[in-house]
């Protein structure tokens, strides 16, 4: 972790463990949830309502969590309570037979995950603020999450086949609880050491970017998650529609997640070397092209290499975007800005899912995926290219911490 203060390295390790608990739980349960709801006698309309309720929780809560973390000047309490709430919610989903309690639990789960997303992103920004290679450090941190997801993504279905879907969901709740307990090892970020009672700022401290750049970046964020909501979350249904089994779909999903492990680290390295803007544009354009190509290659052998390329395009966006979200402002505002990032992400996902669902109902998956991919490419060419290539930095005489 080049350039990260030793005290902050300790906290980064515990943050990584907490994050792994969340990602592992998601990998274990996400492919199973719809079928689990069906065992509780929920029809398609009610299943859609449950997912919508969870998304609403993720939409409404991130900014509030982030604002609170700024107000108290701490991130660890936010992470602890968020993962604790998420654990109790997932255990409730696993153990209850009431679909209405499941709806409440999923709302709380959405709120809780929003808390971890906002608090965790703000904390990692605090911890790597003085690092000389922030992209590589953040890429490594995010890679551990994808690795945890990939390891568990392929196992949930096998456990559910033998013991029922409630068992892996229950295990996911325990994983979240372990992440919650691991957060107790986190310490708040240590600032640059003081010299004669005055903070000595790092020579490459990030200074706030302009409002125009911030708004432009958030347009890019919306476009990315619009595509995710309109394609990625409907992708399993599309694949089933063209003849793939559930096990094949899970394996292809796990393949893409496994490919993110080296991809996220590479993206962090390139973001440090080339800058944020070219990586974000590559991610948007590449992912948009993949969404368009799904209709042609999914029925054939080409789906395997396409999923591997998808790992790279996803990584090209993910690491630089999270990195830039931590560089929009100084530490005093980082929590609320992280919250805004995840609020806009949730908004894009909700609108993308709703629009894509309507288009698919009226026409086909092919048209919906093509429109979403084209939208991402246009945003990259017209909007993302206006972002600064690199983070704005201050000289040592003007930097603030």
Residue-wise pLDDT tens digits, 327-350: 887 777 888 889 999 999 989 988
A 10 A CB-CB count for 382 gives 10
Identify whether 40 is part of a domain.
yes
Identify whether 235 is part of a domain.
yes
Identify whether 395 is part of a domain.
no
Q: How many domains does the chain have?
A: 1
CB burial class (10 A; 0-12, 13-18, 19+) of residue 180? buried
8 Å CB contact between 119 and 65? yes
Q: Can you read off the two tokens belonging to residue 79?
A: 């992470």
Identify whether 136 is part of a domain.
yes
Q: How confident is the model at residue 246 (pLDDT cuts 50, 70, 90)?
A: low
* Full-model pTM: 0.82
List helix spans (H) across 73-98.
76-95
| Cα–Cα dist 123/4, whole Å | 13
Identify whether 261 is part of a domain.
yes
Query: What would the pLDDT profile of 170-197 be if each residue is shown by its tens digit?
Result: 999 999 999 999 999 999 876 544 433 4
Given this model, what pLDDT does residue 357 score? 80
Domain that holds residue 61: 6-189+201-386
Identify whether 393 is part of a domain.
no
A 10 A CB-CB count for 116 gives 29
Query: What would the pLDDT profile of 47-96 be if each residue is shown by its tens digit?
Result: 767 877 888 888 879 999 999 999 988 999 999 999 999 999 999 999 99
Which CATH number covers residue 220?
A: 1.20.1250.20
Least confident of 103-112, 311-320, 387-396: 387-396
Q: How confident is the model at residue 391 (pLDDT cuts 50, 70, 90)?
A: low
Identify whether 378 is part of a domain.
yes
């Amino acid at each position: 972790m080049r350039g990260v203060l030793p005290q902050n390295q300790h906290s980064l390790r515990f943050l990584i463990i907490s994050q792994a608990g969340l990602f592992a739980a998601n990998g274990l349960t996400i492919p199973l949830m719809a079928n689990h709801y069906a065992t509780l006698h929920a029809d398609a309309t009610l299943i859609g309502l449950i997912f919508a309720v969870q998304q609403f929780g993720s939409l409404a809560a991130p900014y509030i969590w982030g604002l609170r973390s700024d107000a108290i000047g701490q991130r660890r309490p936010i992470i602890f309570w968020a993962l604790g709430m998420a654990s109790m919610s997932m255990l409730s989903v696993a153990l209850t037979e009431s679909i209405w309690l499941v709806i409440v639990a999923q709302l709380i789960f959405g709120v809780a995950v929003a808390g971890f997303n906002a608090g965790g992103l703000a904390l990692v920004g605090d911890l790597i603020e003085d690092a000389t290679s922030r992209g590589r450090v953040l890429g490594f941190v995010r890679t551990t999450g994808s690795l945890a997801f990939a390891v568990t993504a392929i196992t949930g279905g096998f456990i559910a086949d033998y013991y029922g879907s409630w068992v892996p969901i229950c295990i996911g709740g325990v994983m979240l609880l372990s992440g919650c307990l691991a957060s107790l090892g986190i310490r708040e970020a240590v600032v640059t050491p003081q010299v004669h009672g005055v903070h000595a700022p790092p020579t490459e401290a990030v200074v706030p970017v302009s409002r125009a750049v911030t708004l432009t970046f958030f347009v890019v964020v919306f476009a990315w998650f619009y595509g995710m909501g309109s394609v990625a979350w409907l992708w399993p249904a599309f694949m089933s529609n063209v003849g793939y089994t559930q096990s094949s779909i899970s394996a292809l999903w796990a393949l893409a997640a496994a490919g993110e492990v080296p991809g996220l680290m590479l993206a962090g390295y390139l973001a440090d070397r080339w800058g944020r803007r070219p990586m974000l544009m590559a991610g948007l354009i590449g992912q948009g092209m993949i969404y368009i190509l799904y209709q042609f290659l999914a029925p054939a052998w080409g789906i395997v290499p396409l999923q591997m390329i998808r790992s790279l395009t996803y990584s090209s966006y993910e690491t630089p975007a999270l990195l830039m979200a931590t560089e929009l402002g100084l530490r005093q505002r980082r929590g609320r800005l992280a919250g805004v990032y995840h609020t806009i992400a949730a908004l894009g996902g909700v609108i993308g899912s709703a629009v894509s669902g309507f288009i698919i109902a009226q026409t086909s998956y092919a048209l919906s995926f093509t429109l979403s991919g084209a939208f991402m490419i246009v945003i990259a060419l017209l909007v993302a290219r206006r972002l600064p290539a690199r983070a704005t930095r201050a000289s040592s005489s003007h930097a603030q911490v």
